[in-house]
């Protein structure tokens, strides 16, 4: 991986030469800076605007109303403009940067965006499954309180298997309570994706890096990582988190496991990778 990006890039290295780059940039412009076929796995959790406009119709908490204000407009972060046109541009760039032989893609969706945008993933990738993330505890919602999100898993052409055929498509990890960054996801969620799809020294990419949960998962899987976020706050938060994790081997933003003590997650089951 060789990236020469803007000055708004934070660089780290760990584990004898594995590299991490976090860039402050719009996701599409960032992907345009990357070489063709330079990434093995994309794991990402976009900030969809659709969910929030739907929630504004009810009384749900929206991203722009978090008490601790992150930007001058009183919002923590900008939402990605999730029109079909913009999403197609994003997917085309994802396909271009993903390698043909190894490229796997995991994109998170809420219920609204899965219905409005999820079908577009099939235009550019081989969609293999829709994984359900069961957050164990209920959140907000008027018509059945929300307890899940979705993850589309797709490959760049019919290229390779996941690590083992025994992995289920419902993943139970507790949501992060009192997160320092709104919408911070459990590191275990990204670990599950990487355990299934990454090998040591693979290059992992997250174009909506937020607080850096996916970067921490990449470090735990001995991978290179390149990520971006449009928000300065996100870049600062994830940079501090990565630096701390590299130095002390501890995650300052997620101190407790999100996995359930009574359930073994895949990487604890000791499955040998299939040939």
Ligand X SMILES: C[S@@+](CC[C@H](N)C(=O)[O-])C[C@H]1O[C@@H](n2cnc3c(N)ncnc32)[C@H](O)[C@@H]1O
113/183 with CB nearer ligand X:
183
Q: Which of residues 215-234 bind ligand X (CB under 6 A)?
A: 228-231, 234
Applying CB under 6 A, among 116, 211, 254, 259 the residue interacting with ligand X is 211
Number of residues that bind ligand X (CB under 6 A): 23
Applying CB under 6 A, among 31, 47, 107, 162 the residue interacting with ligand X is 47
Span interacting with ligand X, options 11-19, 72-80, 114-122, 266-274, rule CB under 6 A: 72-80
Applying CB under 6 A, among 213, 225, 235, 241 the residue interacting with ligand X is 213
Among 210, 163, 148, 182, smallest CA distance to 41 is for 163
Q: How many residues does the chain have?
A: 275
Verify binding: residue 79, ligand X, rule CB under 6 A.
yes
What's the closest the beta carbon of residue 212 comes to ligand X, in angstroms?
Answer: 7
What's the closest the beta carbon of residue 275 comes to ligand X, in angstroms?
Answer: 33
Verify binding: residue 9, ligand X, rule CB under 6 A.
no
Q: What DSSP string describes the chain?
A: ------TTEEEEEETTTEEEEEEES-HHHHHHHSPTT-BSEEEE---BHHHHHHHHHTT---GGG-SS--STTS-SSPPB---HHHHHHHHHHHHHHB-TTT-EEEEEE-HHHHHHHGGGHHHHSEEEEEEEEE-SS----SSS---EEEEEEEESSS----S-TT--SEEEBPPPTT-SSTTPPPHHHHHHHHHHH--TT-EEEESS-TTSHHHHHHHHTT-EEEEEES-HHHHHHHHHHHHHHHHHS--SS--S--B-TTS--GGGTTPPPP-
Verify binding: residue 183, ligand X, rule CB under 6 A.
yes
Verify binding: residue 181, ligand X, rule CB under 6 A.
yes
Verify binding: residue 77, ligand X, rule CB under 6 A.
yes
Verify binding: residue 82, ligand X, rule CB under 6 A.
no
Verify binding: residue 184, ligand X, rule CB under 6 A.
yes
What's the closest the beta carbon of residue 157 comes to ligand X, in angstroms?
Answer: 26
Verify binding: residue 80, ligand X, rule CB under 6 A.
yes
Residues that bind ligand X (CB under 6 A): 26-27, 45-47, 77-80, 181, 183-185, 207-208, 210-211, 213, 228-231, 234
């Amino acid at each position: 991986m060789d990236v020469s990006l803007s000055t708004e890039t934070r660089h780290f290295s760990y584990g004898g030469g594995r590299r991490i780059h976090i860039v402050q940039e719009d996701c599409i412009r960032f992907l345009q800076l990357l070489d063709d076929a330079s990434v093995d796995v994309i794991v990402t959790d976009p900030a969809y605007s659709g969910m929030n406009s739907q929630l504004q119709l009810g009384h749900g908490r929206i991203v722009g109303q978090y008490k601790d204000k992150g930007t001058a407009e009183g919002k923590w972060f900008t939402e990605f403009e999730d029109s079909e046109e913009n999403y197609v541009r994003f997917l085309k760039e994802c396909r271009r940067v993903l390698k043909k032989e190894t490229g796997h893609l995991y994109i998170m969706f809420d219920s609204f965006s899965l219905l409005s945008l999820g079908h577009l993933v099939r235009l550019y990738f081989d969609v293999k499954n829709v994984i359900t993330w069961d957050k164990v505890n209920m959140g907000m919602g008027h018509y059945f309180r929300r307890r899940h999100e979705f993850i589309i898993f797709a490959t760049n052409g019919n290229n390779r298997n996941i690590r083992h055929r025994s992995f289920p498509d419902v993943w139970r990890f507790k949501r992060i309570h009192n997160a320092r960054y709104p919408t911070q996801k459990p590191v275990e969620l990204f670990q599950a994706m990487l355990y299934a799809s990454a090998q040591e020294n693979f290059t992992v990419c997250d174009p909506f890096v937020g607080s850096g949960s996916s970067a921490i998962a990449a470090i735990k899987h001995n991978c290179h990582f390149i990520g971006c976020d449009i928000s300065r706050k996100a870049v600062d938060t994830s940079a501090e988190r990565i630096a701390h994790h590299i130095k002390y081997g501890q995650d300052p933003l997620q101190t407790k496991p999100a996995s359930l003590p009574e359930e073994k997650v895949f990487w604890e089951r000791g499955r040998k990778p299939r040939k």
